[in-house]
A and B are shown apart, each in its own frame.
Chain A
Amino acid sequence: MTNSINEIENAEVILVSGSNTTEAHPQVARRMLDAVDRGARLIVIDPRRTRLAECAHLHLALRPGTDIPLLNAMMRVLLDEGLADDLFIEMRTENFLALRDMLNRLDLEATAALTGVDLPLIRQAAQLYGRARKAVICYCLGVTQHVCGTENVQTIANLAMLAGHIEKEDTGVDPLRGQNNVQGACDMGALPNMLPSYQDVANQDYRDKFERAWGVSLPEAPGMTLVKMTHGGAQGPIRAMFIMGENPMLSDPTLNKVEETLRGLDFLVVSDIFLTETARLAQVVFPAACFAEKSGSFTNSERRVQMVRKAVAPPGECRADSEIIMALSNRLGYAMEYDSSGEVMEEIALLSPIYGGMHHDRLEQNWGLQWPCWDRSHAGTPFLHKYYFTRGKGHFMPASHTEPGETPDQEYPLLLMTGRIYHQYHTGTMTRKSERLSRECDHAVLQINPKDAKAMGLRQGEMVRLVSRRGEITLAASITDQVEPGMVYTTFHFAEAPINRLTNDAFDTGSGCPEYKVCAVRVEKTMSS
């Protein structure tokens, strides 16, 4: 997020795209709804009528996968109506002419028709966003989990820069990060192409710096992304895997392929707090301490690095993952000795510029610090891109529509989207152990429009078979107009109905992000009636 979470409540216009915020980011949704109470305008771009969409002043129910034409149409309206921020474009950006030429060539009517959203509604949204003094765009996986995810994000950045809605407090572009520490895991260089603090592994200078600090020579070729590793097949290039606290056997796309790959490995070791679907396939499983049994830090979506404090001793013989890593490293001939997580953080601060001033004694105070925090005297950064962008000038990246990897046809006539719900989390490893959360929701349901349900003669709660080219599962039908005719929606929390057996293995070539938001399926009755 370029902003802090609390800044959202001061915005005049909030544009939310591809985020089921009330379910997946409850505290962010709270700020959005507080802002609406104070008079802010809320625009929601989502194919489904989510709870947030119901609270919105404008709901742009686009056809899934048409984010780029929708935003391009909004930008064209900004240009046509003189709502572009000329001074910002002149001072802070480059490549504007390419964007302008592309937008001016756009057939506005045809573009709107492609998205399925009425042009007057698009016009209204553009005017609201363009005229606001302070406006934020919040987006989530509904934007990124497409074959054109990278272009979708670049188009959002184009819109924000065109309107000059960046660089100020309460104004910016806010990707909502999913997991508690997904931001931190990226910051720490748990990425195949990046050393800590986004220092490119292919860059000799950065590698030199880490080689000097770590005392070994480092591999220079960028590594494989997660899905490349888990989709290599039984005879793939990866022969062994070490998986710490992840459950690809439920979370990754096209699970049949993941299972084939993991079963085909020469060696699989998993460290986790429960025996997950992935751990069941391992040769060795380490019992890990959970967050309440160790100390360290997490980095939240607003880049706030905060302390995690040990409250109790781990059960049985559980050990913290850091102890496990150190023990293995020492056995493999690379000595690792740290007395505390604080000592590890000192090394992080030394090598990662954006964490340069992050020391545990400072994080203990004032609810942590937001990066970039360059040194011990730096107070942290509540919002990004004041005065300049990280790369210097903001570069407009014009993009045009890309069709999804798979679209509905006669055989598979429905479009499937997947997502999360409020009472469960990710693969349910933790939440499904909670009786109270399971009482609220303990099974997967398939949202289907009343029109489609009627045509098939489905009743509410009836068990149906959901089939794609890659697999099938059985789950209960939930008849609701939250989804449009021709679309169905479900979650990936439940091992009994592992939806990722069905999802497509089409990926965004830029980021490697799987296309979870579009694949083609059909619904079959399980009983004849």
Chain B
Amino acid sequence: MQDVLTTCVYCGCGCGLYLHVEDGQVRGSQPSRHHPVSRDNLCVKGWHIHESINHPDRLTTPLIRKNGVLTPSPWEEALDFTARQLGHIRDQHSGSAIGVLASAKCTNEENYLLQKFARTALNTNNVDHCARL
């Protein structure tokens, strides 16, 4: 059993919590005792955070819609197809015909990369996230 200190993914409080890892899976969580926000306390969502991580409904392969049905497909095919489609629309219309939604659930680094991707590769400022919702 190994405990990994990390930051909770639910609300803006930002509790410090330990994930209990056993056999390569997160089995439970526990608040950090000295973290300035959590101070040895979590809300009910933090205590049960492992349940969504291990859930059998997790997506595990890329899906491409083929004949109207989302079908498991290899990564290379999904990435190539997506890049072709986005590139086509960028070149045909312009970057402003593409919209990008970043995520308040993803990391700073990922959000930085996504807005950089939108502004450079796609040439659009149409990038936003759920800050107002």
The answer to whether B9 touches A266, judged by C-beta atoms less than 8 angstroms apart, is no
What is the CA–CA distance of A216 and B121 in the complex, to the nearest angstrom? Answer: 9
With an 8 Å Cβ cutoff, the count of chain A residues facing the other chain is 140
The answer to whether B64 touches A244, judged by C-beta atoms less than 8 angstroms apart, is no
What is the CA–CA distance of A284 and B53 in the complex, to the nearest angstrom? Answer: 22
Contact among A4, A319, A329, A433 for B52, CB-based, below 8 A: A433
**Chain B, range 77-133, C-beta contacts under 8 Å to A:** 78-83, 85-87, 89-90, 93, 95-133
Q: Which of A75-83, A124-132, A300-308 contacts B (4 or more CB under 8 A)?
A: A300-308
Given the known inter-chain contacts A318-B58, A367-B36, A513-B132, please indicate yes or no for A292 contacting B115, CB distance below 8 A. no
Residue of A nearest to B94 (CB): A219
- Name the B residues within 8 Å of A288 (CB-CB): 59
The answer to whether A239 touches B132, judged by C-beta atoms less than 8 angstroms apart, is no
Contact among A182, A242, A296, A312 for B21, CB-based, below 8 A: A312
The answer to whether A300 touches B13, judged by C-beta atoms less than 8 angstroms apart, is yes
- In the complex, how many angstroms separate the beta carbon of B133 from the nearest chain A beta carbon? 5
What is the CA–CA distance of A367 and B111 in the complex, to the nearest angstrom? Answer: 21
Contact among B63, B83, B119 for A328, CB-based, below 8 A: B83
- Name the B residues within 8 Å of A320 (CB-CB): 110
Interface residues of B (CB under 8 A from A): 4-16, 19, 21, 24-26, 35-38, 41, 43-45, 48, 51-53, 55, 57-65, 70, 75, 78-83, 85-87, 89-90, 93, 95-133
Residue of A nearest to B22 (CB): A312
The answer to whether B110 touches A325, judged by C-beta atoms less than 8 angstroms apart, is yes
Q: 23 A-B pairs, CB-CB below 8 angstroms?
A: A30-B41, A179-B11, A214-B119, A224-B99, A225-B132, A226-B101, A242-B86, A242-B98, A242-B118, A243-B101, A244-B103, A246-B104, A266-B89, A267-B89, A273-B52, A287-B61, A293-B53, A297-B7, A300-B37, A312-B26, A328-B121, A329-B120, A516-B133
Given the known inter-chain contacts A307-B6, A318-B59, A329-B117, please indicate yes or no for A180 contacting B108, CB distance below 8 A. no
The answer to whether B101 touches A229, judged by C-beta atoms less than 8 angstroms apart, is yes
- In the complex, how many angstroms separate the beta carbon of A169 from the nearest chain B beta carbon? 15
- Name the A residues within 8 Å of B95 (CB-CB): 219
The answer to whether A283 touches B121, judged by C-beta atoms less than 8 angstroms apart, is no
Given the known inter-chain contacts A224-B128, A315-B60, A317-B60, please indicate yes or no for A367 contacting B107, CB distance below 8 A. no
Most chain B beta-carbon contacts within 10 A, residue among A242, A266, A301, A440? A242
A95 CB-CB contact with B under 8 Å: no
A144 CB-CB contact with B under 8 Å: yes
The answer to whether B7 touches A223, judged by C-beta atoms less than 8 angstroms apart, is no
**Chain A, range 260-281, C-beta contacts under 8 Å to B:** 266-267, 269, 272-275, 279-280
- Name the A residues within 8 Å of B133 (CB-CB): 178, 226, 251-252, 514, 516
- In the complex, how many angstroms separate the beta carbon of A153 from the nearest chain B beta carbon? 12
- In the complex, how many angstroms separate the beta carbon of A174 from the nearest chain B beta carbon? 11
Contact among A4, A222, A302, A511 for B132, CB-based, below 8 A: A511
- Name the B residues within 8 Å of A325 (CB-CB): 110, 113-114, 117
- In the complex, how many angstroms separate the beta carbon of A5 from the nearest chain B beta carbon? 6
The answer to whether A185 touches B131, judged by C-beta atoms less than 8 angstroms apart, is yes
Residue of A nearest to B24 (CB): A312
Q: Which of A85-93, A333-341, A401-409, A459-467 contacts B (4 or more CB under 8 A)?
A: A333-341
Most chain A beta-carbon contacts within 10 A, residue among B14, B51, B118? B14
The answer to whether A292 touches B6, judged by C-beta atoms less than 8 angstroms apart, is yes
A487-499 vs B, Cβ < 8 Å mask (1 yes, 0 no): 0000000000000
- Name the B residues within 8 Å of A302 (CB-CB): 14, 37
- Name the A residues within 8 Å of B120 (CB-CB): 214, 216, 218, 329, 334
Q: A241-B101, A246-B130, A300-B13 are in contact. List 4 more A-B contacts (CB 8 A).
A: A180-B11, A237-B97, A273-B58, A328-B83
The answer to whether B99 touches A183, judged by C-beta atoms less than 8 angstroms apart, is no
Contact among A219, A423, A430 for B124, CB-based, below 8 A: A219
A192 CB-CB contact with B under 8 Å: yes
The answer to whether A317 touches B19, judged by C-beta atoms less than 8 angstroms apart, is no
- In the complex, how many angstroms separate the beta carbon of B107 from the nearest chain A beta carbon? 3
- In the complex, how many angstroms separate the beta carbon of B5 from the nearest chain A beta carbon? 6
The answer to whether A291 touches B131, judged by C-beta atoms less than 8 angstroms apart, is no
What is the CA–CA distance of A193 and B16 in the complex, to the nearest angstrom? Answer: 32
The answer to whether A251 touches B130, judged by C-beta atoms less than 8 angstroms apart, is yes
A313 CB-CB contact with B under 8 Å: yes
The answer to whether A291 touches B9, judged by C-beta atoms less than 8 angstroms apart, is yes
Contact among B9, B25, B101, B117 for A290, CB-based, below 8 A: B9
What is the CA–CA distance of A440 and B12 in the complex, to the nearest angstrom? Answer: 22
